[in-house]
C-alpha cells in the first residue's frame, strides 16, 4: 500500500474544503488531510479557515460563535481574528504572547471553497484546475454535491480514471459492453494525466440513449483529465454513428462533464465533492432530471464499490494490475512524485510513496 494510503498527503496543493453554500456566519467544522479546520464568513462574505482548536485548552473553535469578523471560543471566550491571532481574553488586559492558531489560504471558485493546507507562502492560484465550464453561461451546472466516503481518496481517483468499470458497475445507466472493446490513449504531461477512448458505431448506454434520443448506433468519446492531487474531469461526447465527433455540425446529442474533487479527510475516508455540467439542452427539464438524478445514482453505485474495496485494503494485502490500469497508475505515480519532492524539500522524505501495488504483470506496463 502506498504512503499516501498510510497518511502522507500532498500539503502544498489546493483541496476543496466546502461547497460555497455550506459556509456562512455559523462556525463550520471539517477535517482535511487529517487536520480539523473551522470555516466561517466575515461580514462582507469573505470565507475564513482556521485550525479548529483554541490555543488555550483545545476546545474546537467550531463550538464557539462568530462576532463581526472574529471567532469567539465557546469555553473561555478567547477572541480570534480572521488571521488566527488571539486579540482578546476576558478578564485580561492582553492575550498571552504567541496566542494564535493557524489560518489557511482560501479561494472561492466554481461553486466551491478551495483550501491550501501547506506553506501559505507557496499558495499559487495557478495550481487550481481551470474548470471554467462551471461558471460559464453557455454551460449548465447542476447542484454541488458531497458524499462522505469511507475510502482513501486515491481509490476515488482510480475509479474516475478507469472508465472500463462502467461496463460492469454502471451497465444499467452509463455503461455497456462496448467500452472494453476499444483501447484507450494515455498521455502524461507535467501536472496532468489524460485518458481518451473513442467508441465508434456501437449502441449507446441506456442513459445516453434516453438523453440523446438515439434510435441507432452512436460514435462517442470518453476523455478524462486528472490534475493532482485529486481533480478529475470526465468528459463525454456522443453523436449519431458516422457523423464525426470532431465536426461542429450541430448534431451532438450528448456534451457533458462531471467535475470531481475527492478531498482526503483521513487516510481511509474522503469528502467526495462533485458536480455536473452540460453544454447542450440547457432549458430541457428532462435532461435536468437525467443528468442530476441519474448521475447521482451512478456516483452512489461507485461509493458502494469504493467502500467495499477499502475494507479489503485495510487488510494490507497484495494486488496486481491489468492493462486498463494504465491511467490510474500514471496518476498515482504523478501524485507520488509530488509527495516525494515535497518531502525532500522539507527534509522529511517518504520512502517510495508511489509503490502501489506491489506486484505488476507485464501486460499492464
pLDDT, residue 358, reads: 29
Nearest CA to 174 out of 327, 286, 294, 303 is that of 294
- Is the pLDDT assigned to residue 361 strictly greater than 50? no
Which residue has better confidence, 243 or 54?
54
**Which contacts of 25-28 are long-range, i.e. CB under 8 A and separated by 24 or more positions?**
25/66, 26/65, 26/66, 27/61, 27/62, 27/63, 27/64, 27/65, 27/66, 27/71, 28/62
Contact (CB, 8 A) for 361 and 322: yes
Share of the chain above pLDDT 90, in %: 75
Q: Are strands 218-227 and 231-240 parallel, antiparallel or unpaired?
A: antiparallel
Report the sign of the C-alpha dihedral through residues 357, 7, 31, 311, in that order.
positive
Q: Which residues contact 50 (CB under 8 A, 6 or more apart)?
A: 37, 38, 61, 71, 80, 82, 84, 101, 102, 103, 104
pLDDT, residue 11, reads: 97
- Is the pLDDT assigned to residue 196 strictly greater than 90? yes
Instruction: Note the pTM of the prediction, 2 decimals.
Output: 0.91
pLDDT, residue 248, reads: 58
pLDDT, residue 92, reads: 96
- The Cα–Cα gap between 296 and 161 comes to 18
- pLDDT (tens digit per residue) in 88-146: 999 999 999 999 999 999 999 999 999 999 999 999 999 999 999 999 999 999 999 99
Q: Provide the pLDDT confidence category of residue 84 given band limits of 50, 70 and 90.
A: very high
Q: Give the cell for residue 309.
A: 474495496
Lowest mean pLDDT among 164-168, 248-252, 282-286: 248-252
- Phi/psi region, residue 121 (left: phi>0; alpha: psi -120 to 50; beta: rest), is alpha
- Phi and psi torsions of 215, nearest 5°: -100, -20
- The Cα–Cα gap between 54 and 76 comes to 9
Q: What's the rounded mean pLDDT across residues 278-291?
A: 89
pLDDT, residue 274, reads: 97
Q: Provide the pLDDT confidence category of residue 159 given band limits of 50, 70 and 90.
A: very high
Q: Are strands 70-72 and 65-67 parallel, antiparallel or unpaired?
A: antiparallel
pLDDT, residue 102, reads: 98
Lowest mean pLDDT among 16-30, 236-250, 270-284: 236-250
Contact (CB, 8 A) for 359 and 319: yes
Contact (CB, 8 A) for 172 and 301: no
- pLDDT (tens digit per residue) in 5-44: 445 899 999 999 999 999 999 999 999 999 999 999 999 9
Q: Provide the pLDDT confidence category of residue 249 given band limits of 50, 70 and 90.
A: low
Q: Provide the pLDDT confidence category of residue 339 given band limits of 50, 70 and 90.
A: very high
pLDDT, residue 7, reads: 55
- The Cα–Cα gap between 148 and 280 comes to 30
Which residue has better confidence, 3 or 149?
149
Q: Provide the pLDDT confidence category of residue 363 given band limits of 50, 70 and 90.
A: very low
Catalogue all structural domains in the chain, each as residue range(s) with its CATH number. Answer: 4-125 (2.102.10.10), 129-328 (3.90.380.10)
Amino acid at each position: 500500500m502506498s504512503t499516501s494510503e498510510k497518511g502522507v498527503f500532498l500539503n502544498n496543493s489546493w483541496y476543496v474544503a466546502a461547497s460555497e453554500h455550506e459556509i456562512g456566519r455559523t462556525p463550520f467544522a471539517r477535517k482535511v488531510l487529517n487536520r480539523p479546520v473551522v470555516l466561517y464568513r466575515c461580514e462582507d462574505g469573505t470565507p475564513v479557515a482556521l485550525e479548529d482548536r483554541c490555543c488555550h485548552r483545545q476546545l474546537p473553535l467550531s463550538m464557539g460563535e462568530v462576532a463581526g469578523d472574529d471567532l469567539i471560543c465557546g469555553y473561555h471566550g478567547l477572541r480570534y481574528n480572521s488571521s488566527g491571532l488571539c486579540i482578546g481574553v476576558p478578564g485580561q488586559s492582553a492575550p498571552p504572547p504567541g496566542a494564535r492558531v493557524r489560518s489557511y489560504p482560501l479561494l472561492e471558485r466554481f461553486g466551491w471553497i478551495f483550501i491550501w493546507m501547506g506553506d501559505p507562502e507557496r499558495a499559487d492560484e495557478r495550481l487550481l484546475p481551470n474548470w471554467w465550464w462551471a461558471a460559464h453561461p453557455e454551460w449548465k451546472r447542476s447542484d454541488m454535491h458531497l458524499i462522505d466516503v469511507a475510502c482513501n481518496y486515491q481509490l476515488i481517483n482510480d475509479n474516475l480514471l478507469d472508465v472500463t468499470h462502467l461496463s460492469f458497475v454502471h451497465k444499467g445507466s452509463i455503461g455497456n459492453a462496448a467500452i472494453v472493446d476499444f483501447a484507450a490513449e494515455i498521455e502524461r504531461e507535467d501536472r496532468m494525466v489524460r485518458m481518451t477512448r473513442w467508441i465508434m458505431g456501437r449502441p449507446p448506454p441506456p442513459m445516453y440513449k434516453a438523453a440523446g434520443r438515439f434510435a441507432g448506433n452512436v460514435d462517442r468519446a470518453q476523455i478524462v483529465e486528472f490534475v493532482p492531487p485529486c481533480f478529475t474531469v470526465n468528459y463525454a461526447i456522443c453523436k449519431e454513428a458516422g457523423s464525426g465527433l470532431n465536426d461542429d455540425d450541430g448534431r451532438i446529442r450528448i456534451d457533458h462533464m462531471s467535475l470531481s474533487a475527492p478531498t482526503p479527510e483521513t487516510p481511509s475516508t474522503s469528502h467526495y465533492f462533485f458536480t455536473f455540467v452540460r453544454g447542450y439542452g440547457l432549458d430541457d427539464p428532462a435532461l435536468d432530471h437525467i443528468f442530476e438524478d441519474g448521475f447521482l445514482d451512478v456516483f452512489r453505485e461507485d461509493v458502494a464499490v469504493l467502500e467495499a474495496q477499502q475494507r479489503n485494503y485495510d487488510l494490507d494485502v497484495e494486488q496486481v494490475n491489468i492493462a486498463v490500469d494504465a491511467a490510474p497508475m500514471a496518476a498515482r505515480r504523478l501524485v507520488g512524485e509530488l509527495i516525494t519532492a515535497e518531502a525532500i524539500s522539507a527534509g522529511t522524505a517518504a520512502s517510495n510513496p508511489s509503490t502501489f501495488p506491489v506486484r505488476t504483470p507485464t501486460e499492464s506496463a
